[in-house]
Amino acid sequence: MDTSINKDVITRPEDSLGRVITSTINATSVRTAGRIRRSYRQIRTENVFRKTLIIVSLCMVVLILGILFTLIVQAFPSIKALGAGYLWGKTWDPVQDVYGALPFLLGTLLTSFLGLLISLPFSFAVAIFLGEYYPKGWLPNLLKNAVELIAAVPSVIYGFWGLAVLIPMVQSLETKMGVPPVGYGIFSSALVLSIMVIPYSASLGRSMITMVPSSLKEAAYSLGATRWEVIRSVIIPYTKSGLFAGVLLSLGRALGETMAVTMVIGNTTQMPHSIFDTGNTMASVIANELGEADKRVYNAALIELGLVLFFVTVIINVIGKKVIGKFS
């Protein structure tokens, strides 16, 4: 198609204009033809490029749907065999083919919320410190970078440090409190998690607080409000939804955290009765058992745990992102 058009372009002027001026016309028409051929090639490349972009973006959607579909299909044997009782069953015994996920759901919720509870005062303090009190200067900048570095340290290193440093500390605390000094357990995991999730809510909260219009703050100051009153009755109400989104992102991170928790939680499958008990979270069960789950239902039950985890984190993250999107 390309060549025929070019021939057309080359031959037409000769036919219509006669032979008197052929030589000059020929030279220009050859140049034009070259240019046109080049632009045809470019249009084609452009179209290919546009299509590649569309296909690649489509791949993202396909990837997410593929992940969801795979998890549902692979978890299906367990959904069929165990039904809704799976989520409320209290015993997890692969040898007897009894699969109840309640201990792990409870373990995940306990570690995540306890960790979040411990970290919140600190992360909000960082957000207020950097967003309101000292937004500029080298020392706040250092603090900001240090807090962001907390997120950069690999989780396996947190776990190893927790094993070596935190667990002896928790053991001595437990001895003082009169509970069996195991060290491993839900409390230790929550401590490690509380360190790991600080940056997520802190940096989001900081950027939200810096976006509060100064006219609002100045109005409150001119009415005679103190610094604390401005923070409490102007900044926090204004940034409420943003701070909430930060907490959600931290929570999503804590729920899915695997390695650090696996290393310090103790990995036992019974129901936890207190926060000093050993236990297991959904992620740590998968990490420990998926590689050796040979029975079909056992394997599917573990994948169903992954499916639950996927749904919960997706919902939390989508809500969080929506809130942030509305804010900015």
Partner 1 sequence: MSAQIKYRIGKSAGFQGLTILLASSCVIPLVAILLYIIRAGITKINWSFITNVEKPVGEIGGGVAHALVGSLIIILMAAIVAVPIGILCGIYLGENRNSKLAYWSRLSVDILQGVPSIVIGIVVYIWLVKPFGYSAISGSIALAIMMLPIVVKSTEETLKLLPDNIKEAAYALGMPFHRVILKVILPCGISGILSGVMLSVARIAGETAPLLFTAFGCQFLTTDVRKPMETLPHLIFKYAISPYNDWKDLAWGASLILLIFVLLLNFFTRLITRKWKVQL
Only one of the segments 18-26, 58-66, 82-90, 99-107 lies at the binding site for partner 1 (rule: CB under 8 A); that segment is: 58-66
Choice between 17 and 149, CB closer to partner 1: 149
Instruction: Decide: is 233 part of the binding site for partner 1 (CB under 8 A).
Output: no
Got the DSSP string for 68-112?
A: HHHHHHHHHHHHHHHTTHHHH---EETTTTEE--HHHHHHHHHHH
Residue 31 C-beta: closest distance to partner 1, Å: 16
CA-to-CA distance for 27 and 23, rounded, in angstroms?
A: 6
Token pair, residue 146, equals 């240090």
Among positions 241-300, residues that touch partner 1 (CB under 8 A) are 249, 252, 255-259, 263, 283, 286-287, 290-291
Instruction: Decide: is 210 part of the binding site for partner 1 (CB under 8 A).
Output: no
Residue from 110, 209, 301, 316 in contact with partner 1 (CB under 8 A) = 316
Only one of the segments 7-15, 168-176, 207-215, 303-311 lies at the binding site for partner 1 (rule: CB under 8 A); that segment is: 303-311
Among positions 118-157, residues that touch partner 1 (CB under 8 A) are 121-123, 125-126, 128-130, 133, 143, 145-150, 152-157
Instruction: Decide: is 226 part of the binding site for partner 1 (CB under 8 A).
Output: yes
Instruction: Decide: is 32 part of the binding site for partner 1 (CB under 8 A).
Output: no
CA-to-CA distance for 264 and 184, rounded, in angstroms?
A: 5
What torsion, rounded to 10 degrees, do the Cα atoms 268, 168, 250, 85 define? 10
Instruction: Decide: is 49 part of the binding site for partner 1 (CB under 8 A).
Output: yes
Backbone angles phi, psi at 197, to 5 degrees: -95, -5
Residue from 2, 46, 97, 218 in contact with partner 1 (CB under 8 A) = 46
What's the full length of the chain, in residues? 328
Return all residues near 106 (Cβ < 8 A) that are at least 6 apart.
Answer: 271, 272, 279
Got the DSSP string for 43-62?
A: HHHHHHHHHHHHHHHHHHHH
Choice between 214 and 228, CB closer to partner 1: 228
Choice between 128 and 186, CB closer to partner 1: 128
